Amino acid sequence: MTLPLPAHPPTPTRRVPYAHASPQQRAQALGYIQKELHQHFPTLSEVTWAKALIQLQPDLWVGPRTVSLDGDDLSYLAQQLAGSPELPQLDPVIHGPRAGYLAGELVHYEDDAIHALTDLEANPLAYGPLVYRLIIRLALGNSVADQVYRATDRGPWGRPGGPDRDVARTTVQERLKALRRARGEGEFGPC
């Protein structure tokens, strides 16, 4: 969430640590954050606002008639409030472009690892345990990455493959069991 926040509070005269602020200054700080962030969180209760402020305990900028927070503290409070259980869950969940990119990378690594299984199957003992484990973990895939990848509509790139890749993905478990036997391992790892 990007908020238009001030770089520094308006006309501060002195900085007061939250622990040393008077009850009136704390109440004014609460009013300030509610005014600044209300448009982003209109449904939050007074208690949630107060708990967020108490948990952060930011320095207050106290002027002759105003109390405010600096932009970094206000931004941090917004992030904290965004995780409030009082807020409705979005359905479907909205994933940003970076989440889609990272999920796409994991999906592509899965496909590369499935392809690399052929090398492992040809010579099961040729690779050390770290390379072996890396390929196995990637080949098993990640259901969360898959869900995010599908939800973010990767455009013309899409999920690589086609029928051959889909079949390869469905046979990974059986291929891994056979590979473990060939390496002399039990079903869940080294004997």
* Sheet containing 14-16, strands listed edge to edge, beginning at the edge strand earlier in sequence: 14-16, 60-62, 67-68
Q: Is residue 141 a contact partner of residue 110, using CB atoms and an 8 Å limit?
A: yes
Give pLDDT, residue 30: 95
CB 97 within 8 A of CB 143: no
pLDDT for 191 equals 42
**From CA 69, how far away is CA 79, in angstroms rounded?**
15
User: What radius of gyration, in Å, describes the C-alpha atoms of the chain?
Assistant: 26
119-129 tens-digit pLDDT: 999 998 888 88
Q: What is the pLDDT of residues 36-91, one digit of tens each?
A: 998 888 888 999 999 999 999 999 999 988 899 988 898 888 888 888 888 776 55
Say whether pTM exceeds 0.75.
no
